[in-house]
Every structure is written in structure tokens, then in C-alpha cells.
A and B are shown apart, each in its own frame.
Chain A
Amino acid sequence: MKKIEDFTVIGHKWLNYSSYVIELEAPEPLSPVRPGNFAEIEIGHSPHVFLRRPFSIFNVNMINNTLSFYVKVIGEGTRALGRARKGDKVNIIYPLGNAFTIPEKNKILVVAGGSGIAPFILYGKELQNHNKSATFLIGARKAEDIVLIEMFRPYGDILIITEDGLLGEKGMVTQHSIFRHDDFPCDHIVTCGPEPMMKAVAGLARKKNISCEVSLENTMACGFGACLCCIVETVDGNKCVCTEGPVFNINQLTWQT
């Protein structure tokens, strides 16, 4: 059940120069949230942040009725939300969008680039509930952008790659040595991050004939299927990322990979 509610900020923590985690408490018991679901947050009251901003739901606490969001500052909206203080009210529409599927398969590789880690704590939790685990390959431009790593530890192995080479292997995510193994250690891939990275991962998955789901980002006016702005081209025509996604199997997309 989608809800529109005033949440209260109960925690706000900067992780580095450009990202933070904000935790908000719901006024009533939370609706169930699945990995990949997102929320539309009203930041508002500024002429330059007119629309809500969509954020992947990073973590959920069903006992305390809190949602948290991992936010990277990219513009006015994310900067303004970064100034929120404990006790502030924030209006949120949630849960929106579809979710990652839990595959039958057991060797799951999660590929996350930069702020693309956002949906994967919930994914790790859901895998754990199904007695599964994953390998988390996490990449970023700079070592200081690698944050919140320890949170993934309970849900599987962690591999790191950075373009500056100061943490983990050096290079782009798709250059990680895991992809060079003759005996490729996975049979299902899920990915979220910059589009060129996801396209490259989708290409690798396709080449190795491995099932793959991607979580897409898109500019949205509403987030619930009314505006028809956030489309992606699929084999069945244009689809709204907000209602038919954000998670798509790569076979649905028309990406040339």
C-alpha cells in the first residue's frame, strides 16, 4: 500500500564530503518495503527544488518504523535535504516501484557503483531471509567514496575496486579480476550505478549468458505513473521507470550491449 506521510528526521550523518545517511521515523507502522523500492521525498519550499526527489530506500527498521536513505549530493535538492535536522518533518511517498527478484540460483553477484549501493542492504537482508548470500562488488572513483562497507558484511563477501586504486583493486568496476576468472563465480547478477557501468555489466552478463537485473535511475516528476516522464525503451515500447521499474531484467531493455 502506497502512503503519503510526514516522517520525522531522527538521524542524519555525513559519511564524507558529499554523502550522508538520513533516517526518518514514520507516524504509523510502515508499509512493507522490498529491495529496489524507492520513495519520493518532498524537499520543497524553494523555487529551485519544485518537484519531489526519488531516492532508493536504503534501510528499513520495522520495529522502530524508520526508513533510511543513502544520499549523494548532486544538486540543490540533495544539498537542501542534507541540511535537515533532527525533529524536522519531511513528507514522503512510499513504497514506490518494483523490486529485485530473489533468484532460484545461489551464486549471486551484486555490482554497485558509487551511490548504486543504495538498494543492496535490503537485497542482502532479503537474500539472508531466503538462506542465500551474495558477493558484493563495490566500485567508486575514489577510495573516500567507498562508504558503509561494513553494513554489507553480514550478507556475503565484499570486493572493492576504485579508479584511484587507493582501496581494493585499481580500475573500473568491470575491470575487476573477478570477471577474468575462467570459472566465473556467479550465475545471477544484480547491478545499480551509473548507466555506462550498468550497460557494461549487462554486456558481460549477456556474453556469459547469466541472468541480470538492473535498477535504473531517471528524472521523474511524480514517481507513481501519472506524468509519463521517466520512460525507458523496452522490447514492449516505452515503460515508466517509476511503475514498471526501477528494476528491469536486461532482456526487457533495448540496450545495445
Chain B
Amino acid sequence: MQLTGAQMVCESLLREGVEVMFGIPGGAILPLYQTLPEYPALRHVLVRHEQNAGHAADGYARASGRVGVAVATSGPGATNLVTPLANAMMDSVPIVAITGQVPRAAIGRDAFQEADTTGITLPITKHNYLVMRAADLPKVLAEAFHISRTGRPGPVLIDIPRDVLVEKAEFHYPEKVELRGFKPNMDGHARMIKRAAQLIRESKRPLLLAGHGVTISNASGELRELAEKAQIPVITTLLGIGSFNTDHVLSSGMPGMHGQAHNNWAIDRADLIIGVGMRFDDRVTGKISAFAPNAQVIHVDIDPAEVGKNVRVTVPIVGDAKRVLHALAKEVEQSTRTDWLKEIDELRDRHPMRPDHDPGKLLPQHVIRELSEAMGGQAVVVTGVGQHQMFAAQHYRFTEPRSWITSGGLGTMGFEVPAAMGAAFARPDKTIWSIAGDGGFQMTMSELATIAEHRLPVKFAILDNNSLGLVRQLQDLFYDGVQTASLYSGNPDFTKIAEAYGIWTTRVTEQGQVRDAIAGAMAADGPAIIDFKVDPGENVYPHVPAGETVYEMLEGPVGQDAPAWLS
């Protein structure tokens, strides 16, 4: 069967089970767009900026566990995908990006809207392709989807010159992809699993550190099985949140820079750290030489390059989290560990989170707690990056995997708007709460148009402190309070912006209004925006200064007798 390159792309997307893609057309990619009407099963969502197409594909992928697809034209269309590709690369999210390229004969001649897309995206994709023959397209698409979703997931980009999209060739879709350079190891090494089980048996003070890998490999059940059988407290990294029910008695919260203080103290005392699907990122470890000084380390990850990259590992296990945890759970003994669990409870009592310490103020953590209570674990929560993200990570209670979507490794402000949109397409059965900062929201709020168009049930809770809150916090704590370029003097009226898009909206200025506003947003058909005017002076605590140890951790405002807000 002879097909055009564009038809081949569509046929391939259908075979990979793609239902929706996010994108913006342009000259070089236009042959693909003009072919879309022949394929009504492929739904295209026209977004307002290519960055948002990429983040939407990311949010879609994280919420569904499937590959997200973004489409852009050559030149600026492709370069606008750089941030979302880097974001997906850092957080191991499966995305396939399809970009148009100038015609083959024009490549390398600085043609109109030409950019070296594969060159630019080389370090921020798991793999990328420049396709020079239409006949290669089926194989390339099959490989791209396979690479993107297999092993440690990641973004793959396919760059297609315009004349390749119109070139005709025979279409044969490969039934199976064989890549001699890409064969991820799924089962952990049996001897290593035995050694790990032995270490767990001998350990008096073990901790499980669960990361994004647990969610990605759908290993929550296996994680719970292991934790319950061996009675090991579970700490979830920022991206691991949701992989273990927050309300479980063994759930301990988040570690690291803004994690609950008792977790950092527990890590300091632990004699065994079992890291699963996580990468001992600097936000988790702080000063690496002082991290978990008394602990041996079992590191389970599907990416061999992560094992031994940051911390010294006693037992490395390269494999899929689900299979390894299952094998480990079978191998370990039933334990009680009453003393250790009691010790952690005591640590938690001595180092509690800052509660609503001032009922006279509208505090961000109060808003999060109210939202969490109202939703009862039933929403998908998407955040951007900054204070609002940390408050949400600390105070929201998650009952299921894939209900927490946040930009972790790259720390991309503005992620909260397009990613929430993508999540809404992935989970039409769910309400999506986008917890936003006023800074990030303004970076990507152009996507409100798309959200309004499709009447998506995306509810925005803007924790509006009229500033880049985390930057302001760093300046206050570590730069003598010199607030350079962190306070806004001309923020728009977010409720008026909502009105412009025909989106339900309200403003909240005091604690008493929070509950009704949330109820109002839930009752509204489609999207909603609540502008929470939160206290601009509030800081995120605890705060381990970058590169420092748990002993330098600030658990509350400097100068205040620790922890005075307890009494």
C-alpha cells in the first residue's frame, strides 16, 4: 500500500493507540495537518503555544501512564518544545514529539523557519530522529514509541522535512521493534535480591525511599506489600508522592530540602536506606557526604546509570520496580520493628509541621489542607514550581498513584496550566485541581483559552502572594532580605482574566471563605479559577539550605525559639 509520509505518521499513531495529540500547525508540518481529516480517530487539540503542547502531552502521560504526543512546526515551533522535552527527560515521562522540518534540499541553508532541531534536542531527549525518507517513517515511529515507553521512560523527537511528509512509499508497520543498543533489564539480579533481603532482615532501622519509578511501573501494591510485611516506613520523594497512600500508617511523607523534618532526622539515624525508582537527587540528599551517614544503601532502579551515580551503594539492583519489589517482598521476613516505628513517631512529635499558626491570616498551607479535605483524595492535583508546590506536597493527602503531577527535576514554572489541561484529557472521569503560583500561572495562562474552549473540568487554585515566593524566601533567609526582582508591582486581576475567558471565578481573602469557594468551583460546569490572596510573608518550612545537612535545617522562622510555635 502506497501512502504519503503524512498518512504513514497517522497510520502509525493509530497503531500505537494514540487518541489525542497537542499541537500548533505551521508551514513545514502542514502536510500532516492537512491529512488529519482522513483520520477522525486522531483527536488534535489546538493549543496556544508549543511549550504548552509539550507540557500537555507530559500531563497526559503522567495522568494516564500512556505516551503523550505533541506536534509542532519547524524553527520556532520546535524550539518552543525545548523546555517541555527537558522537563520530561528529567522526570522520565514518555512523550513523542513530532516536528516539521524544512524540505530536505533546504536543510543547512538557513532556510525560513529552519532550526537544527535534532541537534538542539539531542541532550534533552532519550533519542531523536531526522527522517530523510518516507519509507523509514513506520520503523522510526514504532521505535520512537517503543523507546519512549520502555525501561526508564522519556521523550523522543521525530523531525520530518516537509517534502518527506508528501513523499509516497510502501507502508509496512513493524510488528516488533528490535534495537540491539536498547534492551532494558527488567528482572533484578537474583543474587542481589537475596543480598538485599538479607540486609533488610538484619536492619534495625530501615527506610524505604520511593520515587517516580514506583508510580511509572505501577508498583504501588508491591511497595505496600514489602513495607507492611517488613514493617518499613515509606518516605516518598517529590515525584514519588502518590505511589504510597498518605493515610497509610507507614507513610512518612517527603524527605529533603522541604520535606517533613522528622524524615530527614530519620534518614540521619537509619541503618538501611532502600531507594526504589528514585535517583538520590541533591534536593533529597542535601550535602551528599553527610547523607544517611549510618546507613547501607540498597538502590533499585531500571536505569543502571543512576545506580552509584550520586551515593555509594551497598546492594545495586537494576530492574523494574514492580518485579524487584515483588521479589523482595517474597524474600523478606515478617517483622515488627516496634522500636524503630516508635522512634519515628517520637521524631514526628518533636518536629511537627507548622500548622495554621495564625488564624487571622490566609495561609497557603491552610488552603491546601481545606482543598485536600474537600477532595478526599478524589482529584488529580497538578502544580507548578515554588512555594505553592511545596505546600501542596507537604499538606495534601494522596490516596492513589497518578493523582499528583508536578515538575520535579527541571523545576518548570508554568507547568501547572498546560499539564493540568493534558491531565484533563487523560482522565475525563476526574476533577483536575491545578494548584498554581501567581508567577507560574502568568507564564502559561494563555492556555486558559484552550481549557475554556473544551470546557475542561480544570479548577485553578492560585496561591497568589503577588511575588515569586520561593525566590523571596531565599532572599529573606540567605541574602539579607534584599528582595531583587521577586515582588510584582503590577499583577493583573485574575478574576477579570477568568471572566475574559468565560471561566467561573471568585476571590478569597480570608480563611472563612475558603470552603465555600472550593465548593463553588466544584459546582461550576467546566473550569474555575479561585484567586487565593495568601499571606505574602509566609515561608516554606522546613528548609534545608542547598548543599547543607540536616543539622542546618531551619524548622521555623529564624530567631524564633525552636519550636516556639508549638506552644
A and B part of one assembly: no
